[in-house]
C-alpha cells in the first residue's frame, strides 16, 4: 500500500502508534457527535421539547435495523487488517470488492424495509402520541440515507484495516459541514422542523459516502475499489459473514435491549425523554476516546495476529484498555463538573435541563469501566475470537442492565433508572478481563514465550 498515511501496527512503540491511529478517529468522533448533536441543538432552540423527544426516541429503531449490517462492516475491517498483517494483497483486494457487492445487496432492501418497520418499532417502544407524527417522519427520511450511512462505514472500516485512520476524519468533516448548513437552512430558515433535520442528515450521509469512494480510488488505486458491485468471491463472503455476523447479531441483541430501555424512558413522559436525549449528547462527547481506542485495538490485534507477533499482542492487550479508561475517566469528571453550563446550549427549557443534568451526574463519572471493557472486547474481536465477547455482551445487557433498570424504576423511581449503566459497565469490564484467563489466551501467551525464546 503506497498511501503515506497508513500506520503499520506490527512494529514500533505500541502506544505511540495507537495514539497516532486513534487521534484522527477521536477528532472524527467529536465531529460525529457534532453531526448527531446539531439536530438536537437546532431543534432544541428553534422548535420545542416535543420535537426534541421525537428525535431522541427515533435513534433506537434506526440502530436496531442497521446494526447487523454495520457489524458485518466491522468483520470486513478485521479481515483486511489480518490480510495486511500477512502481506496478502490479493486477499485484501478480493475483500474490498466483495464488501462493495455485499453493501448494495444489504443496503437497498434495508432502506425499503425501514420505511415500514420503523413505525412498528416506535409503536413497540410506546412512543407517546404527542411525538408520534414527528418521530415517524424523522425515521422514514433517515432510512432513505441507509446506503450512504452503510457505504461510509464500510469504506472507513476498509481504510482502518489497512492502517489509515485519518481518512474517516476527512469524510466526517465533509458530512458535518453539509449537515450543519442544511440543518440551518431547512429548520432555522425554512421552518421544516423534524423533517428538515432528518433530510439534512440523510443528504450528509450520501455526501460522506461518495467522497470516500473518490478518496479511496485516488489514494489507494491498488485496492481496486469498484464503484458498482461485482460478483463477490464466495470464500471471502463466507469469511465476512462468519466473522461479521456474530458481531452484527450481538449488536442486534444489544439494540433490542436499548429499545426496551427507551420504552421504559418513554413511559416517564416527554420531559424525561427530552432530558435523556440532551444528556446523551454530552456523554457522547465525553466518551469520544472509547470508539477511537477500540478501533485501534481491533486493527492492532488483527495486524499483529496476521504477522504472528504474539509478544506485541500481549503488551497491547494491557496498554490499550488502560489508556482508554484513563482518558475517558478524566473527560467524564470534567464534563460532569461543567454539565449545567454545557447542557444549557442544547435546551432553554428549565425542566428538560434539570433532568439532563441529573442523568449526566448519575452516568458520566462512571463510564470509564465501559471504556476499558470496549477496548478489551474490540481487541479480542480483532484476533478473531467473537464468541466470548458476544456472550459477555448478552449477559451485560439482558442479565444486568435491563433487569437493574426495571428494578430501579419499580423500587426507587423512574428518574433513577439510568443507574443501570454504571452497574452494567462494571460487570462488563470484569467479565471481559476474565477472557485473559481462558485457554485460548493461554495459547497466545505460550506462543509469545516461544517467540521470546527464539529472539
**Chain segment 367-403, per-residue pLDDT in tens:** 999 999 999 999 998 898 888 988 898 899 899 999 9
pLDDT of residue 97: 93
What's the average model confidence in pLDDT over 99-123? 87
Higher pLDDT, 214 or 127: 214
327-366 burial: b if 16+ Cβ within 10 Å, else e: bbbebbeebbeebeebbeebbebeebbebbbbbbebbbbb
pLDDT of residue 253: 75
Q: 18: Cβ–Cβ under 8 A, 6 or more apart, which residues?
A: 9, 293, 296, 297, 300, 316, 319, 320, 323
Per-residue pLDDT band at 92 (split at 50, 70, 90): very high
What angle, rounded to 10 degrees, do the helices at 234-266 and 387-394 form?
Answer: 10
pLDDT of residue 4: 47
Domain boundaries, the chain: 14-454
What's the average model confidence in pLDDT over 165-182? 85
Give tens-digit pLDDT for 393-433: 889 989 999 999 999 988 988 888 889 999 999 999 999 99
**For residue 251, pLDDT beyond 50:** yes
Q: 418: Cβ–Cβ under 8 A, 6 or more apart, which residues?
A: 276, 359, 362, 363, 405
Query: Which region among 29-43, 48-62, 178-192, 252-266 has the lowest average model confidence (pLDDT)?
Result: 29-43
Per-residue pLDDT band at 221 (split at 50, 70, 90): very high
**How far apart (Å, rounded) are the C-alpha atoms in residues 349 and 355?**
10
As given in the structure block, the three cell numbers for residue 100 are 462493495
pLDDT of residue 36: 65
* Secondary structure in 3-state letters for the chain: CCCCCCCCCCCCCHHHHHHHHHHHHHHHHHHHHHHHHHHHHHHHHHCCHHHHHHHHHHHHHHHHHHHHHHHHHHHHHHHHHHHHHHCCHHHHHHHHHHHHHHHHHHHHHHHHHHHHHHHHHHHHCCCCHHHHHHHHHHHHHHHCCHHHHHHHHHHHHHHHHHCCCHHHHHHHHHHHHHHHHHHHHHHHHCCCHHHHHHHHHHHHHHHHHHHHHHHHHHHCHHHCCCCCCCCCCHHHHHHHHHHHHHHHHHHHHHHHHHHHHHHHHHCCCHHHHHHHHHHHHHHHHHCHHHHHHHHHHHHHHHHHHHCCCHHHHHHHHHHHHHHHHHHHHHHHHHHHHCHHHHHCCCCCCHHHHHHHHHHHHHHHHHCHHHHHHHHHHHHHHHCCCCHHHHHHHHHHHHHHHHHHHHHHHHHCCHHHHHHHHHHHHHHHHHHHHHHHHCHHHHHHHHHHHHHHHHC
pLDDT of residue 33: 67
**For residue 276, pLDDT beyond 60:** yes
pLDDT of residue 317: 95
Per-residue pLDDT band at 3 (split at 50, 70, 90): very low
**For residue 86, pLDDT beyond 70:** yes
**How far apart (Å, rounded) are the C-alpha atoms in residues 272 and 265?**
7
- Dihedral sign computed on CA atoms, order 341, 347, 350, 351: negative
**How far apart (Å, rounded) are the C-alpha atoms in residues 20 and 36?**
25
**For residue 159, pLDDT beyond 60:** yes
**For residue 2, pLDDT beyond 60:** no
pLDDT of residue 1: 46
**For residue 314, pLDDT beyond 60:** yes
As given in the structure block, the three cell numbers for residue 56 are 431522541
Task: Count Cα neighbours of 328 within 13 Å in the Cβ-side half-sphere.
Answer: 31
Give tens-digit pLDDT for 18-53: 999 888 878 877 776 666 666 667 777 787 778 877
**How far apart (Å, rounded) are the C-alpha atoms in residues 315 and 9?**
13
pLDDT of residue 428: 95
Looking up cell 415500514 gives 116
pLDDT of residue 160: 84
As given in the structure block, the three cell numbers for residue 410 are 419499580
pLDDT of residue 330: 93
Long-range contact set of residues 229-234: C-beta below 8 Å, sequence gap at least 24: 229/100, 229/101, 229/103, 229/104, 229/105, 230/97, 230/100, 230/101, 231/101, 232/97, 232/98, 232/101, 232/102, 233/94, 233/97, 233/98
Query: Of all residues in the chain, what percent carry a pLDDT higher than 90?
Result: 33
Amino acid at each position: 500500500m503506497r498511501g503515506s498515511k497508513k500506520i503499520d501496527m506490527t512494529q514500533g512503540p505500541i502506544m505511540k502508534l495507537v495514539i497516532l491511529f486513534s487521534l484522527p478517529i477521536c477528532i472524527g468522533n467529536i465531529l460525529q457527535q457534532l453531526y448527531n448533536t446539531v439536530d438536537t441543538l437546532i431543534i432544541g432552540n428553534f422548535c420545542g421539547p416535543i420535537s426534541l423527544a421525537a428525535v431522541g426516541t427515533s435513534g433506537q429503531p434506526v440502530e436496531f435495523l442497521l446494526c447487523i449490517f454495520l457489524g458485518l462492516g466491522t468483520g470486513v475491517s478485521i479481515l483486511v487488517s489480518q490480510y495486511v498483517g500477512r502481506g496478502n494483497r490479493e486477499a485484501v483486494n478480493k475483500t474490498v470488492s466483495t464488501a462493495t457487492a455485499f453493501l448494495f445487496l444489504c443496503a437497498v432492501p434495508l432502506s425499503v424495509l425501514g420505511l415500514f418497520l420503523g413505525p412498528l418499532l416506535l409503536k413497540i417502544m410506546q412512543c407517546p402520541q404527542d411525538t408520534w407524527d414527528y418521530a415517524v417522519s424523522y425515521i422514514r427520511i433517515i432510512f432513505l440515507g441507509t446506503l450512504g450511512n452503510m457505504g461510509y462505514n464500510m469504506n472507513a472500516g476498509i481504510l482502518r484495516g489497512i492502517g489509515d485512520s485519518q481518512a474517516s476524519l476527512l469524510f466526517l468533516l465533509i458530512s458535518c459541514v453539509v449537515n450543519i448548513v442544511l440543518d440551518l437552512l431547512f429548520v432555522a430558515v425554512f421552518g421544516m422542523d423534524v423533517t428538515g433535520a432528518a433530510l439534512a442528515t440523510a443528504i450528509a450521509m450520501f455526501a460522506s459516502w461518495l467522497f470516500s469512494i473518490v478518496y479511496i480510488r485516488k489514494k489507494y488505486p491498488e485496492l481496486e475499489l469498484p464503484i458498482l458491485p461485482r460478483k463477490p468471491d464466495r470464500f471471502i463472503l463466507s469469511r465476512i459473514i462468519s466473522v461479521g455476523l456474530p458481531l452484527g447479531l450481538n449488536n442486534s441483541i444489544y439494540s433490542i435491549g436499548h429499545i426496551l430501555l427507551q420504552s421504559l424512558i418513554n413511559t416517564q413522559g416527554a420531559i424525561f425523554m427530552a432530558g435523556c436525549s440532551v444528556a446523551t449528547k454530552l456523554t457522547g462527547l465525553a466518551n469520544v476516546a472509547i470508539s477511537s481506542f477500540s478501533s485501534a485495538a481491533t486493527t492492532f490485534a488483527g495486524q499483529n495476529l496476521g504477522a504472528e507477533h504474539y509478544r506485541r499482542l500481549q503488551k497491547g492487550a494491557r496498554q490499550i484498555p488502560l489508556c482508554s479508561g484513563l482518558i475517558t475517566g478524566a473527560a467524564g469528571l470534567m464534563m460532569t463538573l461543567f454539565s449545567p453550563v454545557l447542557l444549557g446550549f442544547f435546551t432553554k427549557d428549565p425542566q428538560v435541563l434539570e433532568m439532563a443534568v441529573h442523568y449526566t451526574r448519575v452516568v458520566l463519572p462512571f463510564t470509564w469501566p465501559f471504556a476499558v471493557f470496549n477496548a478489551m472486547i474490540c481487541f479480542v474481536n480483532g484476533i478473531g475470537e467473537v464468541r466470548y465477547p458476544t456472550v459477555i455482551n448478552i449477559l451485560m445487557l439482558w442479565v444486568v442492565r435491563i433487569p437493574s433498570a426495571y428494578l430501579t424504576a419499580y423500587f426507587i423511581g423512574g428518574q433513577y433508572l439510568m443507574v443501570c449503566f454504571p452497574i452494567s459497565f462494571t460487570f462488563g469490564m470484569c467479565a471481559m478481563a476474565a477472557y485473559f484467563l481462558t485457554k485460548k489466551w493461554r495459547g497466545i501467551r505460550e506462543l509469545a514465550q516461544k517467540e521470546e525464546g527464539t529472539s
